[in-house]
Chain A
Amino acid sequence: MFSEQATPTAQGLLAPPSAEASTFTRVPVSAYADCSQPFRLGERSFSRQYAHIYAARLIEMRPILEERARQKWGNSVALRKLCELRAGEKCCVVGTLFKAMQLQPSILQEISEEHNLVPQPPLPKYIHPSDELILEDELQRIKLEGAVEVQRLVTGTIFAVYGSEQDDGKFLVEDHCFADLPRPLPWNGPSSDRFVLLVSGLGLGSGSGESLLSTQLLVDVVTGQLGAEGEQSCAAQISRVILAGNLLSQNTQSRDTINKAKYLTKKTQAASVEAVKMLDEILLQLCTSVPVDVMPGEFDPTNYTLPQQPLHHCMLPLASAYSTLQLVTNPYQADVDGIRFLGTSGQNVSDIFKYSSMDDYLEILEWTLLAGHISPTAPDTLGCYPFYKSDPFILTDCPHVYFCGNAPRFQSKLLKGEHGQQVLLVTVPAFSTTQTACLINLRNLSCQPIIFSGFGTEDDDGDMEVGH
């Protein structure tokens, strides 16, 4: 793993100064291609309804699902549309899932006067035993019951069900299937160790200095200032750093100007201004040494709806002077040294977490991959741009590394598909709380967390993770 070969010279710097200090050259960028063009929005028109995105999604995924259905239930399985259903006939239907949830926040209910409702406080999960699943296709919808895990599934998933229509008008499901992993990409990985560092949730501007030293240590390790010579030479093999969202902390989102009286907030600056300046300095230090991709996240100054557009380079005047700085979209897809990376800043996974019984971020990540769609809950519960021609969140190629940022803890798993797909799933933890980043070795698709810490007043032996 990282820096194992550094062990022999570990104590090398505990010595009087040597005449020559060695410098190492960073591994060159061999093959980088930004593939996130579908996520970039040019003109934006919000005059469309969101129905089009569902229609595009269904049209695009229907052939894939029909193919899977045939594979699973035999070539002779009857593929029917909802309008063609006959009671009692066993068939397979492909459609969009809709989950009717009682606790789902509804703006109409909130503002409706006849209900006199107090707006619901945000809950960690909105699932309820009384939730129901409904399958929709182009023309009709039908209630589902039977062998479907109602709690697990979320609105917006396209899947195929096998069963029959009952007399009461509901569809009894015997089996179902998803789109499964998309087709694999050829492997062009490097032959020697190359690392990519994934960090998310730097949380600058939070007002608490806990993770600041750890952030500095991170920058120093990557730029080769920290560590003995062995470690520095390993750090020189880090070919890229990807910052996966939430560079700014949630505290910078305070909207004092709206809540407080004007005379109180007249001369105050938005908290994000200072935080962005700090970010600029950190990025400058990184950019002078390694290519960096910066993805925006939930609390970053960019648009709210997915796909989030790159941060504007005018906010980062010092760092934008370097061509190693790349401001990219969320979600982000790129070929780094021949390995396809695909990931988000975590909004898709945390949204599914809220509306499904799945608790594990890694499990949700894997599920989205198997469902063939990065973010099925958009636009229902997650803000999304009203696409109409095509849905860019549908997975068409199987990435080699699939990550999500701002997870509660670090997890990784190597998923193998039936057609030779190999995907490394990584949940990148929020750095501001865990001081952990992820190092991915591109040669063998392995992942290692790297933890930083300082020392504090309550320094005890057991407490290793958190700085103070």
Chain B
Amino acid sequence: MEDELYLENIDEFVTDQNRIVTYKWLSYTLGVHVNQAKQMLYDYVERKRKENSGAQLHVTYLVAGNLIQNGHICHKVAVVREDKLEAMKSKLATIASVHVYSIQKALLKDSGPLYNTDYDIVKTNLHNCSKFSAIHCAAAVPRTSAEVSQVQTSVQAGSQTPSDTNAVSVPVVNGHGPSTAKQTAQQPKGIMGMFAAKAASKPQDTNKETKAEAKEAPGVSAVSSKPPAKGNIMNNFFGKAAMNKLKVNSVLEQPKEEKEVVKPSVPVAEPESSPNPVVEKPGKKTESARIQQKDKKSKMKRVDKSDNEEERVPENLKKKRKRIKKLQSDSSDEEDVPPSPMPEEEKAPSPPPVPALKTELEPASTEVSAGGKKRKRKRVLKSKMFIDEEEDCMVTEKVYESESCTDSEDDFAKSKPPAAHKQPVLPLRKEPKEERKNLKKGAATANRANKQVSIMGFFQKK
């Protein structure tokens, strides 16, 4: 008989699979109304006990009713074991409902496993969690996508703090009412799109463009928290300390996205005048603005960049090969540095990690292509001193040089301490030159498992 099928099912679940069968679990598994599931469980218990009174079957019940406590009439809802059922029922003044909650073979010490069972089955059925419930709500309909975007824009507009209207002069600045200065719908969509994308757990590349504009400050303000290491092979070469964007396209995006996602609460400020929280010194502000612009440009021209990279790679490769032979730097080599990498190097020495990422690609790729170099390279922290012509001062920098001793060879990656002394942009031109020279000394050795990424990278790229 069809009705008997559920009895067999329950029997199988309880006896053979040794499960805890709660009414909810049964309801989802068999696809029946919750009340029917409860009745099924009751029926099974009754029949089983009639057949075999010694059956090893433990039942928990749900009891609900009114209880007088502290002068209030409380409504109590409790899950009790069978042996405590009558005691609970007697405590309640009126009983509103009694039904079977679960059946299991073993005696339960506490109600933890019941919760776990329910949690698991609900988790797997989240999309239709009210399907077998006894109450239907007509108002509970998912929002249409039009409404969703409307909500997003209204939230975005309402919560924005335009930096350009910091002054009290703005009429609604008492904090009442949404701001009148709205971002273009594009930007909110970009940001919200990103959040929605995260929810869908698939970052969309289409959001790249808008994202690029929108997340200048968080993106560029070099986040000291590094994004989790991606399952990116290249990443592994640089080890954990490195935040690497070896592939400009995907990796550059991903860490930024991660950062965004990791910090959803970071207010998305406008690029122009956003007070970049990380950049503290006033002098750096202009630089950060420039960086942002550069970043913007770089992000926008991602495709171009990658092309450039490819082009440059063989160039540098050549150069690096040249340098390896020379072993030590000549000043003449400095002049050889092509102007094309210069724009990148003009980047301000704002906190290193972010810029460091981009430029590591070059050394990395060159190394990869360089392939089997026999010589070993070691990175050593050294102080390098040189005269800064612009400022007319001697500059001492701690720099990671890859030294080639008898066993190891030079490669150069400079890591600058974050409190870089160089504020103005101009001296950077000289600086990068030198560093460039140093970097070019050998092929990139960065492509080793334990090598640290150097700040050098960021002078090289772009």
B407 interfacial contact with A, CB 8 Å: no
Known: A17-B43, A312-B265, A455-B79. 4 other contacts (CB 8 A): A3-B75, A13-B99, A42-B177, A456-B110
Out of B40, B62, B77, B122, which one reaches A451, CB within 8 Å? B77
Contact of B115 among A24, A41, A44, A212 (CB under 8 A): A212
Given A13-B99, A231-B64, A213:B138 Cβ within 8 A: no
Distance, CA A199 to CA B349, complexed state (A): 52
Task: Assess the B76–A236 pair: CB atoms within 8 A.
Answer: no
Name the A residues within 8 Å of B141 (CB-CB): 322-323
- Provide the residues of chain A in CB contact with B78, threshold 8 Å: 452-455, 464
A324 near B24: Cβ-Cβ < 8 Å: no
Interface string of B41-78 (1 = CB under 8 A from A): 01100100000000000001010111101001111111
Q: Which chain A residues lie closer than 8 Å to B108 at the CB level?
A: 455
Q: How large is the interface on B (under 10, 10 to 19, 20 to 34, 35 or more residues)?
A: 35 or more
5 A–B contact pairs at CB < 8 A?
Answer: A1-B73, A11-B98, A16-B39, A43-B162, A291-B139
The answer on a CB contact under 8 Å between A10 and B111 is no
A234 (CB) vs chain B CBs: closest residue: B96
* Chain B stretch 158-206: residues in CB contact (< 8 A) with chain A: 158-162, 165-168, 170, 172-179, 192, 195-196, 198-199
Binding site for B on A (CB under 8 A): 1-4, 6-7, 10-11, 13-18, 21-26, 28-29, 37-38, 40-45, 47-48, 209, 212-213, 216-217, 220-221, 223-232, 234-236, 266-267, 281, 284-285, 287-291, 301, 309, 312-315, 317-318, 320-324, 385, 387-390, 392, 410, 436, 439, 448-457, 459, 461, 464, 467-468
With both beta carbons as reference points, the residue of chain B lying nearest to A292 in the complex is identified as B140
Check if B119 is an interface residue, CB within 8 A of chain A: yes
CA distance A25 to B382 in the complex (A): 76
Q: Does B95 contact A (CB under 8 A)?
A: yes
Who on chain A is nearest to B157 by CB?
A: A42
Leading 4 A-B pairs by shortest Cβ distance: A224-B135, A454-B111, A228-B97, A317-B199
With both beta carbons as reference points, the residue of chain B lying nearest to A15 in the complex is identified as B39
For the complex, give the distance between the alpha carbons of A324 and B40 in Å. 33
Chain A residues lying within 8 Å of B175, measured Cβ to Cβ, are: 41-45, 385, 387
Q: Are B143 and A45 in contact (CB under 8 A)?
A: no
Cα of A21 to Cα of B27 in the assembled complex, Å: 12
By a CB distance below 8 angstroms, the chain A residues around B24 are: 220, 225
Q: Chain B contacts of A209 at CB under 8 A?
A: 112, 115
**Would A314 and B199 be within 8 Å (CB), given that A10-B97, A223-B135 are in contact?**
yes
| Stretch of B126-134, B324-332, B350-358, B372-380 contacting A (4+ beta carbons < 8 Å) | B126-134
Residues from chain B with a CB closer than 8 A to the CB of A213 are: 79, 111-112, 114-115
User: In this assembly, does B38 line the interface, its C-beta being within 8 Å of a C-beta of chain A?
Assistant: yes
For the complex formed, measure the closest distance between the CB of A9 and the CB atoms of chain B, giving whole angstroms.
8
Contact check, A390 vs B75: say whether CB atoms are below 8 A apart. no
Indicate if the CB atoms of A322 and B142 lie closer than 8 Å.
yes
Specify which chain B residues have a CB less than 8 angstroms from the CB of A231 in the assembled complex: 64, 96-97
> In the complex the two chains form, what is the Cα distance from A351 to B160 in whole Å?
30
Assembled-state Cα–Cα distance A40/B178 (Å): 8
Task: Closest A residue to B81 by CB, please name it.
Answer: A455
B281 at the A interface (CB under 8 A): no
Beta-carbon contact of A281 and B134 below 8 Å: no
Q: Does B33 reach chain A (CB closer than 8 Å)?
A: yes
B interface, over-half SS: mixed
Beta-carbon contact of B97 and A230 below 8 Å: yes
Give B residues with C-beta under 8 Å from A.
3, 6, 23-24, 27, 32-36, 38-40, 42-43, 46, 60, 62, 64-67, 69, 72-81, 84, 87, 91, 94-100, 108-112, 114-115, 118-119, 122-123, 126, 129-130, 132-143, 147-148, 151-152, 155, 158-162, 165-168, 170, 172-179, 192, 195-196, 198-199, 226, 228, 240, 264-265
CA distance A1 to B34 in the complex (A): 25
Q: Choose from B110, B155, B228 the contact partner of A468 (Cβ within 8 Å).
A: B110
The docked-state distance in angstroms from the alpha carbon of A321 to that of B148 is 8
A23 to B174, CA, bound (A): 49
Does the CB pair A13–B100 fall under 8 Å? yes
Contact B84 A459 (CB under 8 A): yes
Q: B43 and A314: CB pair below 8 A?
A: no
**Which residue of chain B has its CB nearest to the CB of A213?**
B115
* Distance between Cα atoms of A95 and B23 in the complex (Å): 62
Quick one: which of B75, B95, B161 contacts A449, CB cutoff 8 A? B75
How many angstroms from the CA of A185 to the CA of B115 in the assembled complex? 44
Question: B62 — which chain A residues lie within 8 A by C-beta?
Answer: 226-227
In the complex, what residue of chain B is closest to A2 when comparing beta carbons? Answer: B75
Given contacts A13-B42, A17-B39, contact A453 B34 (CB under 8 A): no
Give complex CA distance A212, B110 in Å: 13
Q: Which residue of A lies closest to B169 (CB)?
A: A45
Given contacts A227-B96, A455-B81, contact A312 B155 (CB under 8 A): yes
* Contacting residues, chain B, for A301 (C-beta < 8 A): 265
Question: B166, A467: Cβ atoms under 8 Å?
Answer: no
The answer to whether B36 touches A236 (Cβ under 8 A) is: no
- Cross-chain contact B143 with A322 (CB below 8 angstroms): yes
Question: Which residues of chain B come closer than 8 Å to A457, judged between CB atoms?
Answer: 109-110
Q: How far is the CA of A392 from the CA of B240 in the complex (A)?
A: 50
**For residue A464, which residues in chain B have a CB less than 8 angstroms away from its CB?**
67, 69, 76, 78, 91
Q: Which chain B residue has the least Cβ–Cβ distance from A453?
A: B78
Given A6-B96, A314-B196, A317-B199, check contact A16 B118 (CB 8 Å).
Answer: no
Chain A residues, Cβ within 8 Å of B168: 45, 47-48
Q: Are A26 and B137 closer than 8 Å at their CB atoms?
A: yes
Q: How far is the CB of A66 from chain B (nearest CB, A)?
A: 25
Within 8 Å CB of B199, what residues of A?
Answer: 314, 317
